[in-house]
Amino acid sequence: MDFSLTEEERQTRDWVRTFVQREIQPLEQQALRRERAGEPGVTTEEFAALRSKARHSGFWGIQTPEEYGGMGLSAVMTALIEVELGRSFVPFRFGGSADNILFHANEDQQKQYLVPTIEGERISCFAITEPGAGSDATAIKTTARKDGSDWIIKGEKTFITGGNEADFSMVFAITDPDKGVQGGVTCFLVDRDMGWKSEYIDTMGEWGPAALIFDDVRVPDRNVLGEVGEGFTLAMQWIGRGRYLLPARALGACERLVEMAIEHARNRVTFGEPIAERQAIQWMIADSAVEIEALRWLALSAAWQVDRGLDSRQAQSMAKLFGGVKANEIVDRMMQIHGGMGYTRELPIERWYRELRLLRIYEGTDEIQRRTIARNLLKGHVSVRGALG
C-alpha cells in the first residue's frame, strides 16, 4: 500500500494550507469580537473578497466538473482541502460549487439555476428536513398538489442550512400519497420570489439555520427537478454526497486545537514547572493524537472508496460517527488543558466547543450512524474485515 500523496495533491494541499494561514486565520480575532457583539463574524463582502482571491489563483469549483469551469478534484483531494479549511473556525468554503442533484437539471434549468449557482450569482438551499421529519426523511408532510400546469406547495421545512440567504430552494414534497416516498415525492426548484419565507433559528453555535414556510406557493411544472415522483432518490443522492467531508473538516479543527494545547502546556508553569511535565496533561495529548490519526484514515479511506466507485456508505457512516464523538472529546480535553482561559471568549476554544457539538447531530445523528453501521453488518451487506476483506 502506498499512503503517500502525489506531487499534485501535496502542492494543492500546501497552497490551501498557506491560504488558510495568511488569509483566513488573521480574521479570527475580529470574528470573535463581532460575534460577542451579536454581529456576523465575517461579512458577506469579506467572504466574497476571499473567494475572489482564491479564484484568481485558480481555486474555483473544487468538485465541479471541468466542463462547468470547476477543478473536478477527487474525493481524496477534496477531503485533504477540508482538513486544511477546518483549521480555522471561520466557515470559509471555496466558491464555484452547486449541490450535486442540480446537475440533474434540464438545459433550461441549468441556465437558470445551475450555472448561476456555480458562478456565485445565485444561492441555493436543500429543503427536506421538517419539524417531524429529521433523521427519518420518509416522514415528510409537505405536499404539492397539481393545479392546471402549476403545483401548489404547502408545508414547513426546518433547520435548513443557507435558508436565510438562499434565493431559491430545492424543496421536496409529497405529490402522490398513495405511492409513499418511493415514487410519491418530487423535488421542485422554488425561487424565493414565488412566495416562500424564511425565519432565523437561533442556536448555541454561530450557525444560523432557517425554517422555511410554504403557504400555498405556486410553482410552474417546468420547475420540477428530475422526474415527478423521483424526488426521494435525488434526496438520498444528496444526503450521501460527501458525508466524509464533515469528519475531515473536524479533523483540521482537532489538529489545531491540540497544537494550541501543546504550546500552552509548554508555557504554562505551575508549582515550578510547565504543565507539559504532568502525566495527566501528557495522557490527554497522547490520546488525542491517536484519535486524530485514526480519524484521518477513516475519512481518507471513505474518500478513497468514493473515488473508486465503491459503496462507501459504511465507511462514511463510520467516519462521521467517530469524527463527531472524538472531536467533541478532544475539544473538551483541550479546554481542560487551558483551564479558565479556555473557557473564556478570548480564545477560540469555547467557540469550537459549541461548533463541534453540532457534528453529532446534523446530516445524520450518532444514533442514525450506529443504526446504519449495525444494520449493514447484521444483514451481511458488509463485513468487519473492511472494504478490502
Which sequence positions are flagged as catalytic? 363
The Cα 374–Cα 184 span in angstroms is: 29
The Cα 161–Cα 208 span in angstroms is: 7
**Quick one: cell of 104?**
440533474
Strand-pairing partners, residue 189, are 170
The Cα 82–Cα 12 span in angstroms is: 12
Residue 355: which residues within 8 A CB-CB, separation 6 or more? 89, 205, 206, 207, 253
DSSP states of 144-161 as a string?
EEEETTEEEEEEEEEEET
The Cα 212–Cα 207 span in angstroms is: 16
The Cα 140–Cα 225 span in angstroms is: 18
DSSP states of 158-208 as a string?
EEETTTTT-SEEEEEEES-GGG-HHHHEEEEEEEGGGT-EEEE---SSS--
The Cα 6–Cα 251 span in angstroms is: 21
The Cα 98–Cα 82 span in angstroms is: 16
DSSP state of 24: I
The Cα 83–Cα 136 span in angstroms is: 29
Strand-pairing partners, residue 121, are none
The Cα 320–Cα 180 span in angstroms is: 29
Using alpha carbons only, what angle is made at residue 10 by residues 9 and 14, rounded to the nearest 5 degrees?
Answer: 115
Residues in the chain: 389
